Amino acid sequence: MSGTALLHLTPGDYHVIRAEDFGSPGLTARESIGPAASVQVLGPLVTVHDSTFDPRTGIGHHPHRGMERLFYILEGAVDHDDARNHITGHMGTGDLGILTEGRRGMLHSEWNNTDGGTRCYIMVYPTDPLPETASFDAIRDDEARRVPVGAGVVTKQVVERGDDRLHGDVREFADSSLDAGAALDVRLGRDESALVFVVEGALDVEGADGSAATAALGREHTVAVAPAPQARSLLLKAREHSRVLHAVMGPGLGLRRRAG
């Protein structure tokens, strides 16, 4: 395999959207990919947020159209209410909500109705083909397979290849737990892009052939990998007990960075 170029982002590289920006108290989003971030596009992803909601807070009804949003609930719960299409949905800890906006669009709210805090990892991408109407679906925590993939590594396969509940080009999404000293190999096919996010812990990441650039990742760090014509691998090596989210996507628009 050829070397894998890594773009390493730290929390200092993110665009922070605060409660006053949302116009709603209790919300914060750390945008690693998006129009105001240093990385504006990765593969099909046009927005990636690590978001927190204080207890009993949220954002009121607001419009979206033409995209699909994945809400992976790391902690707490989020309730979705689409007033335009009379669709509601609940996402609990470990669930992946699939919010499809459609050509008609949605007018939805996102709310934490619990007495505790909520944290969710949100990925936004275009749909192809574009459904006519909005919809809500979810991959529940208890239906995702837990797979031991090596010594000291357990991976929760949230989105597996071929899952037709998604309408865009996110091909895999997983949540892995690594013991200190354990290693995880994330494989990319031809023309595939990848995203890695460290929920907790510390890891080293490198191309599995050893020829690529390496990065030392800490808590809430991100690695973005642009698509390339050859198959590649990322090797994640935990320096301490770690939890890592990782996604494999299609080529989309490649990797685009903000000018300047």
Q: Which CATH architecture has domain 143-257?
A: Sandwich (2.60)
Start-to-end CA span in the chain (Å): 32
CB 16 within 8 A of CB 223: no
Q: For residues 114 and 78, give the distance between their C-alpha atoms in angstroms, rounded to a whole number.
A: 9
Domain ranges of the chain: 8-142, 143-257
Position 192, amino acid? E
pLDDT of residue 222: 98
Q: How confident is the model at residue 77 (pLDDT cuts 50, 70, 90)?
A: very high
DSSP per residue, 137-178: EEE-GGGSEEEEEETTEEEEEEE-TT-TT--SSEEEEEEEEE
Name the pairing type of β-strands 183-188 and 15-17: unpaired
Task: Round the average pLDDT of the chain to a whole number and report it.
Answer: 95
pLDDT of residue 213: 66
- In DSSP terms, which residues pair with 156 in a beta bridge? 146, 175
pLDDT tens profile 187-221: 999 999 999 999 999 999 987 555 556 889 999 99
CB 255 within 8 A of CB 224: yes
Q: How confident is the model at residue 79 (pLDDT cuts 50, 70, 90)?
A: very high
Query: Of all residues in the chain, what percent carry a pLDDT higher than 70?
Result: 96
Whether 62 has a pLDDT exceeding 60, the answer reads yes
Q: Which CATH architecture has domain 8-142?
A: Sandwich (2.60)
Q: For residues 26 and 52, give the distance between their C-alpha atoms in angstroms, rounded to a whole number.
A: 8
Q: For residues 119 and 27, give the distance between their C-alpha atoms in angstroms, rounded to a whole number.
A: 10
Taking residues 56-62, report their average pLDDT: 96
Domains 8-142 and 143-257 fall in the same CATH topology: yes
Query: Of all residues in the chain, what percent carry a pLDDT higher than 90?
Result: 90
pLDDT of residue 208: 53
DSSP per residue, 73-128: EEES-EEEEETTTTEEEEE-TT-EEEEE-TTT-EEEEEE--SSS-EEEEEEEEE-S
Taking residues 8-14, report their average pLDDT: 96
Token code pair at residue 88: 């509601």
Taking residues 48-56, report their average pLDDT: 98
pLDDT tens profile 131-150: 999 999 999 999 999 999 99
